[in-house]
Amino acid sequence: MTNPLLTDWTTPFGLPPFDLIADADFAPAVEEALAEARVAVAAIAEAEAEPTFANTIEALELADARLGQVLSAFWALAGADSNPAREALQRDFAPLLSAYGSEVSSNTALFARIEALWENREALDLTPEQARVLMLTRRGFVRQGAQLTGDAAERLKAVKSRLAVLGTQFTQNLLADERDWMMPLAEADLAGLPDFVVASARAAGEEKGAGGPVVTLSRSLIVPFLQFSPRRDLRKRAYEAWVARGENGGETDNRAIAAETLKLREERAQLLGYASFADYKLETEMAGTPGAVRDLLMQVWTPARAAAEADATVLEQMLLADGEAGPLEPWDWRYYSEKRRQAEHDLDEVALKPYLQLDRMIEAAFACANRLFGLEFEEIEAPRYHPDVRLWEVRRDGAHVAVFIGDYFARGSKRSGAWCSAMRSQQRLAADLRPHVINVCNFAKPAAGEPALLSYDDARTLFHEFGHALHQMLSDVTYESISGTSVARDFVELPSQLYEHWLEVPEVLEEFATHAETGAPMPRDMLDRMLAASTYDMGFQTVEYVASALVDLAFHDGPAPVDPMQKQAEVLAGIGMPHAIRMRHATPHFAHVFAGDGYSSGYYSYMWSEVMDADAFAAFEEAGDPFDPTLAKKLEETVLSSGGSVDAAELYTAFRGRMPGVDALLKGRGLLDAA
């Protein structure tokens, strides 16, 4: 029987034929695709013809196209709908794919051809985009060890292979802890919880087969439980389980994995001639150096900590007034902060959520994209990997632009968090391929027949991930390696964080924030109070984030710690971490940093991008129109369509005319007065 992964896909728009693919198809497909890629790479490296950009760089761009196609389907499933068979495949594929990558980057004949092109680049008559791809290709090979020989080269291969295995194991341990823990709730334990939290707990219990309501470690359930449950004992139990993910002993404990990962990263950097892994990693980012990152984070930390400490004093007084014993603890913060928000801003999330329907917020994200960039969305039917998945064709001026895929609801088979990825990236080299872009979220799934309701933070997450999607969909480059979000890590969050601002535009909310039962628009006074409270509790949010970013930087800027947990404690003590706030991501569940090295030494990048996004949206405010067509066109032509074809700082400067300072960020977070 023909393996559907290895056929030409005749599905709508060439989407993966998920209705035909079985888990057993992946291993043989990856094996065959890897063999095909190796043959293609060998042909490039061993060609008798003199190296040209076409026969070397462009040929290399296309060498593993089949492998990319197979893996695009696999990674979608592995992240959003895992099972034991797929987890086993992940463990099997990690060393195989690492070995292939090492073979390519250490192929001396191939690198010699790339180096020859680099040395002769001035005479090649390359376009600016081609010159950029040549530079990035050569730099990538050098950073992967192409210039190493002998024992050093072999050791680097072993290090990279082991890191790939560790990253996979870290992810799977975290998923196991999140999937397996639950706290059953008696009917009396539901007292004080809003209906939407009770409904989520009952739905979670039904999914788990628990015979009653439960709290799980899904953020969409545990956070509102911590916000609303008056039971301090239950809040403590749930919170401590949440922050202990990856730190429970036994087979799923991630502490030893984190320690080994940091040691191997340090060795990798030193093999390549860098003083630390942070120096290695940040060389290609906008920040450039660990010192620049630390300077930014500390400029924000000081006012954020001051604001958080002031808030903690107020919340502790509320705790004591309730007859509870102090001090204020981390499992108390969200509960009393929610009470304070209701009192100070007259905002009740129970009353707010019916106006933030998932379907209407999707429509809002689409409508903003239409007004800004002329995009139109039509829901389509095509094979999908899970029944909850929805698909839309994206068009502009009658022409096909992309397929957008939305997977919004939490489930036990999905890893936590929210993310955007391209199951197919835009490129024009082999053919004019338009992207398949997927947004994955973890919103609470409603009972059958009921509308899905979001918190305001959920709605921001939806807009954030859709901003990433626009970066992919509007990409307009020739080469896949620089397509869409293939940019500096501390630039990639700019489009996503910038798009969040359009959720706060009053006219958008006036149209799309409508009541789930009555259809009435959100009352203007409620809308105003919601927007006024957008920076509420920002001290807490900023402290938990910056603390995580500083720990990440400390892990990689210097000798690898023997005991990461001790190092984490030292860093937090050194910066004066408030007692009632924990890191957003403690080390054993810090997937951004340990599930792979994408955000390692780079968790700061959300804040680096936020400096730009606050300043970029200010351009629309200065124009007096959040949908100013001239600015929207300029944003697309500079930032959104260019991918990695131009240096990130040049792209931003082309849009705004200059680089911004940190004041725009502090103002946006309501922390300027605390600075």
CATH code, 655: 1.10.1370.10
Q: Which amino acid is at 37?
A: A
| 39 in any annotated domain | yes
| 532 in any annotated domain | no
Is 285 in the same domain as 318?
yes
Checking if the pLDDT of 498 tops 60, the result is yes
Angle of the 489-500 helix axis to the 456-473 helix axis, nearest 10: 120
Residue 575 pLDDT class (50, 70, 90 cuts): very high
Catalytic residue among 285, 465, 480, 544: 465
Is 360 in the same domain as 484?
yes
| 301 in any annotated domain | yes
Is 44 in the same domain as 95?
yes
**SS3 sequence of 185-216:** CCHHHHCCCCHHHHHHHHHHHHHHCCCCCEEE
Checking if the pLDDT of 464 tops 90, the result is yes
Is 273 in the same domain as 368?
no
Domains: count for the chain? 4
How confident is the prediction for the chain on average, in pLDDT? 95
pLDDT at 675: 55
- The phi, psi pair for 369, rounded to 5°, reads -65, -30
- CA 135 to chain CA centroid, nearest Å: 27
Is 199 in the same domain as 262?
no
Checking if the pLDDT of 176 tops 60, the result is yes
CATH code, 427: 1.10.1370.40
pLDDT in tens, 237-269: 999 999 999 999 999 999 999 999 999 999 999
CA 530 – CA 523 distance, rounded (Å): 11
| 159 in any annotated domain | no
pLDDT in tens, 267-305: 999 999 999 999 999 999 999 999 999 999 999 999 999
Contact 248, 167 (CB under 8 A): no
pLDDT in tens, 605-659: 999 999 999 999 999 999 999 999 999 999 999 999 999 999 999 999 999 999 9
Q: What percent of the chain is modeled with pLDDT above 90? A: 92
Residue 448 pLDDT class (50, 70, 90 cuts): confident
pLDDT in tens, 586-599: 999 999 999 998 89
Residue 1 pLDDT class (50, 70, 90 cuts): confident
Q: How many CA atoms lie within 13 A of 494 on its CB side?
A: 31
pLDDT at 532: 87
DSSP per-residue letters across 74-89:
HHHHHHHS--HHHHHH
Is 549 in the same domain as 506?
no
Is 397 in the same domain as 250?
no
Angle (CA) 296 301 303, round 5°: 115
Checking if the pLDDT of 526 tops 70, the result is yes
What would the mean pLDDT of 353-368 be, rounded to a whole number? 97
Query: Among candidates 482, 142, 425, 402, which has minimal Cα distance to 280?
Result: 142
pLDDT at 634: 98
Q: Helices (DSSP H) in 322-422: which residue ranges?
A: 330-345, 349-352, 358-373
pLDDT at 663: 86
| 153 in any annotated domain | no
Residue 451 pLDDT class (50, 70, 90 cuts): very high
What would the mean pLDDT of 403-419 be, rounded to a whole number? 94
Checking if the pLDDT of 463 tops 80, the result is yes
Residue that the structure tokens 């087969």 belong to: 209
pLDDT at 533: 87
User: CB neighbours (10 Å) of residue 672?
Assistant: 14
| 524 in any annotated domain | no
What would the mean pLDDT of 648-674 be, rounded to a whole number? 89
pTM equals: 0.93
Query: Among candidates 160, 77, 158, which has minimal Cα distance to 597?
Result: 160
Is 541 in the same domain as 667?
yes
Is 410 in the same domain as 334?
no
What would the mean pLDDT of 86-91 be, rounded to a whole number? 96
CATH code, 39: 1.20.1050
Residue 349 pLDDT class (50, 70, 90 cuts): confident
Is 193 in the same domain as 261?
no
Residue that the structure tokens 């292939």 belong to: 100
Q: Which amino acid is at 664?
A: A
Is 501 in the same domain as 555?
no
pLDDT in tens, 466-476: 999 999 999 99
| 399 in any annotated domain | yes
Domain limits at 661? 171-180+246-343+537-675
What would the mean pLDDT of 158-174 be, rounded to a whole number? 96
Checking if the pLDDT of 307 tops 60, the result is yes
Query: Among candidates 347, 353, 354, which has minimal Cα distance to 517?
Result: 354
Checking if the pLDDT of 674 tops 70, the result is no
What would the mean pLDDT of 69-94 be, rounded to a whole number? 96
Contact 241, 225 (CB under 8 A): no
pLDDT at 606: 92
Q: At which of 486, 517, 548 does a domain end?
A: 517
Q: How many CA atoms lie within 13 A of 385 on its CB side?
A: 25
| 189 in any annotated domain | yes
Contact 496, 464 (CB under 8 A): yes
Is 411 in the same domain as 450?
yes
Q: Which two tokens stand for residue 345?
A: 């801003």
pLDDT in tens, 9-61: 999 999 999 999 999 999 999 999 999 999 999 999 999 999 999 999 999 99
- For this structure, is 610 an active site residue? no
Residue 430 pLDDT class (50, 70, 90 cuts): confident
pLDDT at 522: 95
